[in-house]
Amino acid sequence: MKPAISDSLEENSLYYFANARSLAFFGASNRGETMGSIIFMSLMESGYRGDIYPVHPKEQSIRGLPAYPSADNLPLVPDLAVLVLPTKVVPEVLEACGRKGIRQVIIVSGGFKEIGGEGIALEEDLKRIIHKYGIRVVGPNCLGIVNTRHRINTTPMLLRSEPGSVGLVSQSGSFVAQMFEYLSHLGLAFSTAFSVGNEMDVDLVDCMEYLEVCPDTKVIALYIEGIKRGREFLQAAQRISCKKPVVAFYVGGSETGKKAAFSHTGAMSGPDELYTGMFRQCGILRAYSVTELFDYCWALARLPEPGGRGVVIQTHSGGPGASAADVCGRSGLELPALTEGTRKALAEHLPHTASMGNPVDSTFTQDPRSFFFDIPRIILEDENLDFLLIYLFLPEDAIKQRLIVAGFSEEDTEKMIADIIRSGSDAFIKVLEKTKKPVIGFTYLSIREAFIKKMIQTGMPVFQDPARAVAAIGAVVDYYEFKNRMLREA
Amino acid sequence: MKPAISDSLEENSLYYFANARSLAFFGASNRGETMGSIIFMSLMESGYRGDIYPVHPKEQSIRGLPAYPSADNLPLVPDLAVLVLPTKVVPEVLEACGRKGIRQVIIVSGGFKEIGGEGIALEEDLKRIIHKYGIRVVGPNCLGIVNTRHRINTTPMLLRSEPGSVGLVSQSGSFVAQMFEYLSHLGLAFSTAFSVGNEMDVDLVDCMEYLEVCPDTKVIALYIEGIKRGREFLQAAQRISCKKPVVAFYVGGSETGKKAAFSHTGAMSGPDELYTGMFRQCGILRAYSVTELFDYCWALARLPEPGGRGVVIQTHSGGPGASAADVCGRSGLELPALTEGTRKALAEHLPHTASMGNPVDSTFTQDPRSFFFDIPRIILEDENLDFLLIYLFLPEDAIKQRLIVAGFSEEDTEKMIADIIRSGSDAFIKVLEKTKKPVIGFTYLSIREAFIKKMIQTGMPVFQDPARAVAAIGAVVDYYEFKNRMLREA
């Protein structure tokens, strides 16, 4: 019995999971390093905005909060219950939650269908209970939900991220919990992320439909080991893709991936070609790794709709420029020539060794102002340009060395380096603010380098290899081509 | 007139480039931030072990070293001259070097064939001069040579790396100069790296033949925009590949890459398929990005020869394990089942929720000692295992949080975290020391995380995505299959 689709977030059946105003927590204690205690601390330290009611059979309080002996004794009916308990006590606690009137439950505990045998029978018991009371369950065998706005976090990892725009539905808890830091280096964060576990009740499709109507979510990422409701998935994905991009990393397609997925969540996978076809049909962009999954999300969350597939590359180094050009060519992107007007305007900012082809290569001798302001400003006005792909190499170390060569003392350089990086990034940010065209960076430096980090924080995707940048650009082009075709045909 | 191949490093025609005991430097000054001064400082600060003779028409000394007004006035004939001069004075200085008897010259200056027109004529002038005196030239339009053992470094970037094992021949100076830090994060460094520029004289093939006999070089990386001596390249590569692996990143194959390469160094590229066929024929591993180029070098430089293509994956998280398994399947690697004996031995170290398939998934609840010592030690003895691919996730942040949950104070945790990381890495290092089988890590953490960094410094490749790890494993498998086939047929 699935509720009808609604455009309203509040009417979505998962609303009180991701926006719980209060929750009962089963499985935290005051001693020991149990999973329950770790998750409980994680929830508290992540800044959850609602009320937490720990439930414990013996303790009066749990880590500073008043505790209740059972669900029956709770002073109110919380929006959500979180169960991190030994497998065998889960059914009775779930039953007690039902009696109390709790209608949203996250079961983190494992030991059910995924281990086979008696686990399958135990999961059937859970199903009977939720049908009896009309409870919705996320899990079991999952890490539940992360919502960065309301600071809900039922994973063991501390949530520090500001509210973000990437929605995630994952058949692996690791790809929720272990990605906080990864995403933060990209200047990204989850809006809401679901670890769906065994999908006993709430499944991939339900969560996608929540993210569909979630206004914080700009792009939806999926980690898929197998799909249960194929037809519904297809319909939902096709509808959602016309509103916001969906990127999927599917690992059940190869024989080895299929086996691994099965022993992980007991999901049944289908052949790779079937999924490839299905994804294409409903406009889902397919990623082949976690890196690709979040690279595509990065570009799709940050970049405006492009006018076409024409990429202009700006560089001051031949090799990186040629590498970017090569991979553009392989990926079906175009490298348009600049117009006569652009070339004329550029001429006064480029040395005689420069190339005004595409890549625009200013060669080594460039001052930061011209590279980060004049040149991109001029190029971005070119009517043939749909994307600007720019090589970024402004390492603190090298700047320092140049300053020392120029005669400055070690002490003087610190502040000067900060100034140089700031003036470069300020100039470039001005250019970015004035253009409506997508701008993407690439570098071989660490994304923790000061200049790169600054640009990423500003919202510009900067990829550590042009191959990654170009794949992400390709995803953006593919997505808007799909969307516009669907909208025309509708 | 190319000299015959010799197995002796000293007899190699490029010996006095990469092992220059003394060099004359043209183009440094005491003022201003010219390229010459930057490179001069870079050379001095990189710890060059030989004698440097700056040449300057007016100054008595350059940055603390006695200067000489011209090549003719040098007190001895240095092994090498480095020219970082305005284009138009290069011919006369080269002529002076020839008169003096200098036989190795690096011409960093650009403005020759690569800019067309008069540049072509100027390069012809240079050719006449070197033939007259029998000079060998690297360049022009290059960044010359880096040798980490003798601390030769004619790039503008400071060289801090210890002596390394990756030889590089690059048709882009950037991929020499801008890769020092990139490689150091992988725990790698160049042995000798050549930026060949316009290849007026010394070319790709010459440099490959130097690296062939260089005992410091374990693996050879090539960045290619176009090949001039196809037949010689093929012969050399085939011979070298039987001794040490060669990995090539070729960007001239796509139409766009070809154009970019041409405007960069004036190199003529051939169609992609031609190069793919040629590379395959001579055992060169083809990379499609700089990331792949150095990933393959990383694995090839660090890992022993494998017994076959059987990969066993060890994880404590289902998603990362399934992702690794999936990509192994796609890449033609095998995921063998563990023997009965191994499974029996493993059983006592794994919880009941664990999977003893492949991936071996210990699930969340594991202690570091069992994950980093007992389990890998047992798995590595399995006769079906050729590679161990292990998921690494030991983030300082998460450990800290657990310690606080366990009741320790903020202050106590610092030392404890260091202890936990050290005991994990020490245990794992013991396992690595005892096995002759290749072990590769994968993670989604930054490679700057303490535990990951430690393992990388120990010499273990740790890739930031299983897709990268598996591609590198594939390169290792392909290389040894080629090598062994060639040796059998010889």
The chain B residue lying nearest A393, using CA atoms, is B178
Q: Which of A354-368, B414-428, B452-466 has the lowest mean pLDDT?
A: A354-368
Asked whether the beta carbons of residue A326 and residue B252 sit closer than 8 angstroms, the reply is yes
Cβ contacts (< 8 Å) between B257 and chain A: which residues? Answer: 322-323, 325-327, 329-330
Pick from B223, B268, B326 the residue to mutate for testing the A interface (most A CBs within 10 Å): B326
- Give pLDDT, residue A273: 84
**Residues for chain A: how many in total?**
490
Asked whether the beta carbons of residue A319 and residue B223 sit closer than 8 angstroms, the reply is yes
In angstroms, what CA-CA distances link A18 with A15, A104, A106? 6, 10, 11
Q: What is the distance between the alpha carbons of residues B269 and B249, in angstroms, rounded to a whole number?
A: 13
Q: What is the distance between the alpha carbons of residues B259 and B264, in angstroms, rounded to a whole number?
A: 9
Q: What is the pLDDT of residues B385-411, one digit of tens each?
A: 999 999 999 888 888 877 877 788 888
Which two three-digit tokens encode residue B159? 């060289």
Would you give the DSSP letter of residue A366? -
Q: What is the distance between the alpha carbons of residues B388 and B313, in angstroms, rounded to a whole number?
A: 6
The chain B residue lying nearest A171, using CA atoms, is B319
> Higher pLDDT residue, B260 or B216?
B216
Which two three-digit tokens encode residue A424? 């470069």
Listed in sequence order, the residues at least 6 apart from A249 whose beta carbon sits closer than 8 Å to its beta carbon are A221, A222, A223, A224, A286, A287, A288, A289, A290, A292, A293, B323
B268 pLDDT more than 70 = no
Which two three-digit tokens encode residue A179? 């990605």
Alpha helices in B186-330 (DSSP H): 204-213, 230-241, 255-265, 272-281, 290-302, 318-330
- Give pLDDT, residue B2: 46
Report the residue from A33, A321, A405 with minimal CB separation from B33: A405
Which residue, A300, A249, A239, A244, is CA-closest to A275? A249
User: Among the ranges B226-230, B350-354, B398-402, which has the highest mean pLDDT value?
Assistant: B226-230
Number of other residues whose CB lies within 10 A of the CB of residue B116: 10
- Give pLDDT, residue A2: 46
Nearest chain B CA: its distance from A156 CA (Å) = 8
The chain A residue lying nearest B186, using CA atoms, is A446
Nearest chain A CA: its distance from B272 CA (Å) = 10
Q: Are the C-beta atoms of B151 and B159 separated by less than 8 Å?
A: yes
Cβ contacts (< 8 Å) between B265 and chain A: which residues? Answer: 318
- Give pLDDT, residue A5: 56
Q: What percent of chain B has pLDDT over 70?
A: 94
Share of chain A residues as helix, strand and coil, in percent rounded to the nearest 5: 45, 15, 40
Report the residue from B257, B326, B448 with minimal CB separation from A326: B257
Cβ contacts (< 8 Å) between B395 and chain A: which residues? Answer: 181
- Give pLDDT, residue B383: 97
Asked whether the beta carbons of residue B402 and residue A364 sit closer than 8 angstroms, the reply is no
Average pLDDT over residues B366-378: 89
Cβ contacts (< 8 Å) between A37 and chain B: which residues? Answer: 405
Q: What is the pLDDT of residues B322-346, one digit of tens each?
A: 999 999 988 999 999 999 999 999 9
Alpha helices in A435-489 (DSSP H): 450-458, 466-489
**pTM for this entry:** 0.94
Q: What angle do CA B83, B179, B153 make, to 5 degrees?
A: 30
ipTM: 0.93
Which two three-digit tokens encode residue B34? 């010219």
Report the residue from B38, B291, B326 with minimal CB separation from A257: B326
Q: What is the distance between the alpha carbons of residues B14 and B108, in angstroms, rounded to a whole number?
A: 17
Q: What is the distance between the alpha carbons of residues A18 and A145, in angstroms, rounded to a whole number?
A: 7
Nearest chain A CA: its distance from B328 CA (Å) = 7
Task: Using DSSP bridges, classify how beta strands B65-66 and B61-62 pair: parallel, antiparallel or unpaired.
Answer: antiparallel
Q: Which amino acid is at B176?
A: V
- Per-residue buried b or exposed e for A295-328, using 16+ beta carbons within 10 Å of the residue's own CB: bbbbbbbbbeebeebbbbbbbbbbbbbbbbbbbb
Asked whether the beta carbons of residue A172 and residue B322 sit closer than 8 angstroms, the reply is yes
Q: How confident is the model at residue B261 (pLDDT cuts 50, 70, 90)?
A: low
Nearest chain B CA: its distance from A402 CA (Å) = 6
Cβ contacts (< 8 Å) between B448 and chain A: which residues? Answer: 446, 448
CA-derived radius of gyration, chain A: 26
Asked whether the beta carbons of residue B256 and residue A325 sit closer than 8 angstroms, the reply is yes
Number of other residues whose CB lies within 10 A of the CB of residue B162: 9
The chain B residue lying nearest A466, using CA atoms, is B289
- Give pLDDT, residue B5: 56
Q: Are the C-beta atoms of B96 and B71 separated by less than 8 Å?
A: yes
Give A125-169 as a DSSP string: HHHHHHHHHT-EEE-SSS-EEEETTTTEE-SSS---PPP-SEEEE
B33 pLDDT more than 80 = no
Report the residue from B38, B292, B357 with minimal CB separation from A259: B357
B463 pLDDT more than 90 = yes
Q: At what angle do helices B410-434 and B396-405 cross, to 10 degrees?
A: 130
- Give pLDDT, residue A284: 97
- Give pLDDT, residue A174: 94
- Give pLDDT, residue A115: 85
Listed in sequence order, the residues at least 6 apart from A362 whose beta carbon sits closer than 8 Å to its beta carbon are A314, A315, A316, A349, A350, A351, A354, A370, A371, A375
Which two three-digit tokens encode residue A293? 């999954």
Cβ contacts (< 8 Å) between B398 and chain A: which residues? Answer: 156-158
Q: What is the pLDDT of residues B95-134, one digit of tens each?
A: 999 999 999 999 999 999 988 899 999 999 999 999 999 9
Q: What is the distance between the alpha carbons of residues B191 and B168, in angstroms, rounded to a whole number?
A: 8
CA-derived radius of gyration, chain B: 26
Asked whether the beta carbons of residue B325 and residue A260 sit closer than 8 angstroms, the reply is yes
In sequence order, the β-bridge partners of residue A287 are A249
The chain A residue lying nearest B465, using CA atoms, is A291
Task: Using DSSP bridges, classify how beta strands B144-147 and B152-153 pair: parallel, antiparallel or unpaired.
Answer: antiparallel
Cβ contacts (< 8 Å) between B290 and chain A: which residues? Answer: 323, 444, 465
Pick from B88, B183, B323 the residue to mutate for testing the A interface (most A CBs within 10 Å): B323
For chain A, the first-to-last Cα distance in angstroms comes to: 29
In angstroms, what CA-CA distances link A178 with A111, A258, B323, B388, B397? 22, 22, 14, 22, 11
Would you give the DSSP letter of residue B156? S
The sign one gets for the Cα dihedral B139, B171, B40, B147 is negative
Would you give the DSSP letter of residue B374? I
- Give pLDDT, residue A379: 97
Backbone angles phi and psi of B308, in degrees to 5: 180, -155
Which two three-digit tokens encode residue B417? 């975290």
- Give pLDDT, residue A21: 97
Which two three-digit tokens encode residue A144? 């539940």
Q: What is the pLDDT of residues A360-378, one digit of tens each?
A: 999 865 678 899 999 999 9
Average pLDDT over residues B444-471: 95
Mean pLDDT in runs of 10 for chain A (490 residues)?
Answer: 63 96 96 87 93 97 96 98 97 98 97 91 97 98 97 94 96 95 96 97 98 98 92 95 97 70 60 88 96 98 97 95 94 96 94 88 79 96 98 88 80 90 94 97 92 96 97 98 92
- Give pLDDT, residue B260: 67
Q: Are the C-beta atoms of A149 and A131 separated by less than 8 Å?
A: no
Which two three-digit tokens encode residue A312? 């202009």
